[in-house]
Amino acid sequence: MHDIEPHYHWRNKYVASEDERSPFYGRVYDEFKFTQKIYNYFIHPQWDSFGSATLYLKIIYVDYSEGLAIIELIGEWNDCLHNDVMHLKRNVIDELLAQHIYKYILIGENVLNFHASDDCYYEEWWEDVRDERGWICCLNLLDHVIDEMEQIQLQHFINFGENYNNINWRTQRPKILGKAVEAMIEGAVKRLIF
């Protein structure tokens, strides 16, 4: 797992540790000292801790003019034991919301497991973004993660599933990815309305 780095091809466009408005501004990374673990396996030191014992992230792109953040995740998303969504919401998302970020793409291909609790923080997050015509979308989740999320009806608050899987996002420019995901979401909403 220590070989899995956060996506770095957009670093010429955005670096969270250099962004004064980022929750991770000023963070310094040691490329040679591995300290963070998932399942007793060390992970690459570029991943950011945000209070969870099993889930890490990297904000790989933010566009303040578009109100868009793209966040890559790795690890076990465990709301049942660790209330990971609370840590994510309070320590990262609330700070981005304060900067008028209302559109969120969560890259989930490295989320190994999801253990649900209740949907309160997801509903709160959705309520925070919906009045601003915002949205939350998870890309490339594993099938068993999708199944677990569907069991507690998270699809009412987050866009995820078959339509948002198998997306080759790494080859896209981040603004184009944001526009493409938004078009997919708006298309889904229109299909539900008519």
CA distance 182 to 121: 22
Q: What is the mean pLDDT of the chain?
A: 93
pLDDT (0 to 100) of residue 37: 83
Which residue segment(s) compose the domain that 128 sits in? 16-193
Give the residue-averaged pLDDT of 173-186.
Answer: 95
Q: Is residue 78 part of a domain?
A: yes
Residue 3 is assigned to a structural domain of this protein: no
Cα 146 from Cα 26, distance rounded (Å) = 34
Rounded to two decimals, what is the model's pTM?
A: 0.94
Per the structure, the count of domains in the chain is 1
Give the model's pLDDT for residue 100: 98
List the CATH number of the domain containing 79: 3.30.750.24
- Residues β-bridged to residue 7: none
Percentage of the chain exceeding pLDDT 90:
81
Per DSSP bridges, beta strands 68-78 and 103-115 are parallel
| Residue 137 forms part of a structural domain | yes
- Per-residue pLDDT tens digits for 11-41: 999 999 999 999 999 999 887 777 788 888 8
Domain presence at residue 1? no
Residue 194 has pLDDT above 70, yes or no: no
Answer whether residue 128 is part of any domain.
yes
Residue 116 lies in a domain: yes
pLDDT in tens, 110-158: 999 999 998 899 999 999 999 999 999 999 999 999 999 999 999 999 9
pLDDT band at 43 (very low <50, low <70, confident <90, very high): confident
- Residue 8 predicted with pLDDT over 60: yes
Q: Measure the CA–CA gap between 89 and 158, rounded to whole angstroms.
A: 14
Q: Is 58 exposed, middle or buried (0-12, 13-18, 19+ CB in 10 A)?
A: buried
pLDDT for the residue 1? 62
